[in-house]
Structure 1
């Protein structure tokens, strides 16, 4: 059964074929160009070739004159068909205009670059100024905080000194009062001793008198 299926699959495979050849190019048979007829020369009229040669010679002379005059910066002299001389400054003027335009464009480009550079430098300076201003504000805030702290410390120190001074003054007053009180006590003790001595003397004298009366 497997052999028959393989044979059927092999028989169904298409055979490889060569690709079709490209189409053959067609040859186009174009008509030939007609020959130019030679113009007949008429007596009394110059031929076109002569006029062309004459114009060519005039153009060459004009170009030579233009080169010579442009070197010296003098206007160009052109000859007309009728033989009349015409002073034309168009070529030199055009060239001058072109040169001026180029210079103006170059100057404008240079000015634009310079302006951009100045703007960039101005922006950088503005940014640096802003940073310096911010740093200044931060430093001022720090100084204010330290100033407040120092003021508080000084106030507390002054208050402590004042309180200690009052205490010291109170202590000195107390000592003086104690000394005065001690002096008063000493005086009182002496007075008491004197009074007791006098009282003893009086009692002795009274007792002696009583004894003398009884006897």
Structure 2
């Protein structure tokens, strides 16, 4: 297969991967950030201790993290069909990507928030700040470098998940590698796809590291 034949295949596949990762990242933050905050706030010694509720939430998060992604994709096929009306294509696989990434990101959020010094939180409370204000104006801003680093790790993991989604008809670079690189023995295309994924991951990781460093210096 020549470069002229590969380029029309690589560009749409790259766009599909970007769409899957982009939308799933957005939904992961929307759902994972509040869950991570809740894991800290509801813990013993937190802003609003509720150990039983926190334990239940942590149990659910641990279940989500314990499932291999390939198993998760198959297990939630009925839920995916219910949400988007189909189980194949880029839009369909945003659902399992999000479900798989939310527990992972929530734990990273929890870790980042726990690194915030208790003296900062206590000072805000002493000035009369409400729990919501402490979360919005103290915990999240102070933990921002760690949150950005955690988000970067999550996005990189989502790129790997999206490649696996290609094995089940999810589209993207993973689907291209399976259909052409593996099934049709197009070794050069397989190599190019792998290199492209590596480049994308390196760029995103470098960008995330740079942003986290800038925030930590502030």
Structure of higher RCO (CA pairs closer than 8 Å, 6+ residues apart): 2
**Greater fraction helix:** 2
Name the TM-score, length of structure 1 as normaliser: 0.21
* Greater Rg over alpha carbons, structure: 1
Name the TM-score, length of structure 2 as normaliser: 0.21
